[in-house]
Amino acid sequence: MDQGAPLTAHAPAMPTIWKKMRPDNSMHNNHDDENQSAEEGRTGRRFVDAPPIDMAHLTRHTLGDEGIAHEVLSLFLLEVESARKLLPECNEKELLEIAHRIKGGARAVGAFVLADIAADIEDAPQDRSLVDEFLDMAEKVELYVDAISTDRRRATG
């Protein structure tokens, strides 16, 4: 196991991402809220500053073992890369299978916004705009993990 700086010590600046929120800024999963403002849009996602991966969550679930955390993130990224290639052209059944698989993996690593988008795809697989939203967030997740890995490699020399 690499004994370099902890993952959380070299996290890049937090990008602005989407999160599901109520108008009072509390979290929710209700996609049918009739009182959503036009700013929130159909999905209820509003801008908040947070990294695409909750590193504290990942650290807790890997018991602080950075080697395991890196391995888990690497495996998750393989799934995300595969999904990004397959989603644009897949049929509804394949879309549901991929979304379900990514939802579980994303929740496990702390990529909660990506998991929420995958859940939205499961709820409305005919809505291809959700695929575009997924692809955008998946790219942010990949870039974030790459930035963490690059910063960590620099710190460990």
3-state DSSP call for residue 13?
coil
Question: Within a domain: residue 92?
Answer: yes
Residue found under tokens 């690497």: 74
Domain residues for the domain of 62 are 52-156
Enumerate residues 6+ apart whose C-beta is below 8 A from 119.
Answer: 29, 99, 103
Question: Within a domain: residue 12?
Answer: no
Q: Name the token pair of 121.
A: 């795809």
Query: CA-based angle 80:4:73, to the nearest 5?
Result: 10
User: In this structure, which long-range contacts are made by residues 146-149, counting pairs with CB atoms below 8 Å and at least 24 apart in sequence?
Assistant: 147/12, 148/7, 148/10, 148/11, 148/12, 148/55, 149/70
Instruction: Tell me the C-alpha distance between 136 and 10, whole Å.
Output: 23
> What is the CATH classification number for the domain harbouring 82?
1.20.120.160
Tally of domains in the chain: 1
Question: Within a domain: residue 19?
Answer: no
Instruction: Tell me the C-alpha distance between 123 and 39, whole Å.
Output: 22
Question: Within a domain: residue 20?
Answer: no
- Reply yes or no on whether the pLDDT at 20 is more than 90: no
- Reply yes or no on whether the pLDDT at 95 is more than 90: yes
- Average pLDDT on 118-137 reads 96
Question: Within a domain: residue 94?
Answer: yes
Question: Within a domain: residue 63?
Answer: yes
> Do residues 44 and 31 touch, judged by C-beta distance below 8 A?
yes
3-state DSSP call for residue 39?
coil
Question: Within a domain: residue 3?
Answer: no
Instruction: Tell me the C-alpha distance between 10 and 150, whole Å.
Output: 9
Please write the tens of the pLDDT for every residue from 43-93.
Answer: 455 445 689 999 999 999 999 999 899 999 999 999 999 999 999 999 999
Chain centroid to CA 95: 17
Question: Within a domain: residue 39?
Answer: no
